[in-house]
Amino acid sequence: MKIQERTGASAGRSAAPAQPGVGDRLPTAPRERKPALAALAVLLILVGALGATTLVLRAGDRIEVVKVTAQIDAGESVKDSNVTSVMVAADDSIDYVKWDQLATLKSLKAKSTIYEGTVVVGQMFAEGSSLPAGKASVGVALKEGQYPADIKAGDTVAVYNVDTSSSSSDKTGSTGSSSSGGLIVANARVNTKSDSSDATVSTGNLSLTLLVDEADAAAVTRAASAGAVAIVHVPGNGN
């Protein structure tokens, strides 16, 4: 009787599911390796490092170029007094004029007005005279009282004939006004001002080069030769 009870109990225990041991783990699927993604990550890291290195090297690659310190008008050349050197980042897409090319640059003429603070590039200059189309350069000698005291290169001025003794028909400019005390040119640009400061101080005389329309050049020249030119400042940025 006891033997049967033990047998029944043993049968009952075997029917229950076996529990895993404390130290056992369930099997897991092996991880899938992706070598292509790992290689791409390494490549991106290398590209980023190379780009950063290139930027650092480019930032340190600087050249000495020409910079304008005083306005240079059309047809004029650079001088030691109106340019200086400045360091800029090298850029092959920009035609900078390097400082060691200054001697060559002095033999060229400005194609148009170059303002103070401009870094010079080769396209700003050309060989020979570069007067704008339809313009002429006329020299005038002025006495004290025939020009504003603060006149300077780049100013816009009106030109008058102040000789009232001559016939009006002889000195009438393209503006149609009588030059007998009348307007010759309404809008001219002062290209250059005489550098002879000692003579200006001692005598009050001043020499200017004016940029005028070709049609007005003859009238201005005749009035200038008679010492009858006077100029005044007018609004505007010149021609």
- Show the 3-state SS of 163-214: CCCCCHHHCCCCCCCCCCCCEEEEEEEEEEECCCHHHHHHHCCEEEEEEEEH
Sheet holding 183-193, edge to edge: 135-142, 206-213, 183-193, 156-161, 229-233
Query: Do 227 and 163 fall within a single domain?
Result: yes
Query: So what's the pLDDT on residue 26?
Result: 60
DSSP sequence for 68-125: ESS-B-TT----TTSEEEEEEE--TTS-B-BGGGHHHHTTSEESS-B-TTPBPBGGGE
**Residue 113 resides in a domain:** yes
Q: Measured in Å, how far apart are the chain's first and last C-alpha atoms?
A: 133
Query: Do 149 and 213 fall within a single domain?
Result: yes
**Residue 117 resides in a domain:** yes
> Tokens 């103070």 label which residue?
116
pTM of the model: 0.46
Please check whether residue 98 is in contact with residue 63, taking contact to mean a CB–CB distance below 8 angstroms. Answer: yes
Distance between CA 95 and CA 11 in Å, rounded?
100
Last residue of a domain, one of 97, 126, 155: 126
Query: Do 156 and 99 fall within a single domain?
Result: no
**Structure-token pair, residue 5:** 């009870």
**Residue 24 resides in a domain:** no
Written as tens digits, the pLDDT of the chain (239 aa) is 555 555 555 555 555 555 555 555 666 656 666 677 777 778 888 888 777 766 655 556 889 999 999 988 777 889 999 999 999 988 888 999 999 999 999 988 887 778 899 999 998 888 865 567 788 888 888 888 899 888 888 889 999 998 766 544 444 444 444 444 589 999 998 877 765 443 434 446 888 888 899 999 999 999 988 889 999 998 875 44
Query: Do 150 and 218 fall within a single domain?
Result: yes
Query: Do 170 and 209 fall within a single domain?
Result: yes
Query: Do 113 and 199 fall within a single domain?
Result: no
Q: How many CA atoms lie less than 13 Å away from 69 in the CB half-sphere?
A: 10
pLDDT tens per residue, range 186-224? 999 887 776 544 343 444 688 888 889 999 999 999 998
Query: So what's the pLDDT on residue 143?
Result: 87
Query: Do 107 and 187 fall within a single domain?
Result: no
Query: Do 141 and 228 fall within a single domain?
Result: yes
Query: So what's the pLDDT on residue 201?
Result: 44
Query: Do 142 and 190 fall within a single domain?
Result: yes
Distance between CA 6 and CA 2 in Å, rounded?
6
CATH (domain of 97): 3.90.1210.10
Query: So what's the pLDDT on residue 37?
Result: 75
Please check whether residue 209 is in contact with residue 220, taking contact to mean a CB–CB distance below 8 angstroms. Answer: no
**Residue 52 resides in a domain:** no
Query: Do 111 and 153 fall within a single domain?
Result: no
Nearest to 74 by CA among 128, 117, 140: 128
- State the total domains in the chain: 2
Last residue of a domain, one of 103, 126, 149: 126
Last residue of a domain, one of 126, 157, 180: 126
**Residue 121 resides in a domain:** yes
**Residue 81 resides in a domain:** yes
**Residue 116 resides in a domain:** yes
* Residue 90 structural domain: 62-126
**Structure-token pair, residue 22:** 């404390």
Return the SS3 of 8. helix
> What is the phi-psi region of residue 128: left when phi exceeds 0, alpha when psi lies from -120 to 50, beta otherwise?
left
Query: Do 120 and 186 fall within a single domain?
Result: no
Query: Do 120 and 151 fall within a single domain?
Result: no
**Residue 91 resides in a domain:** yes
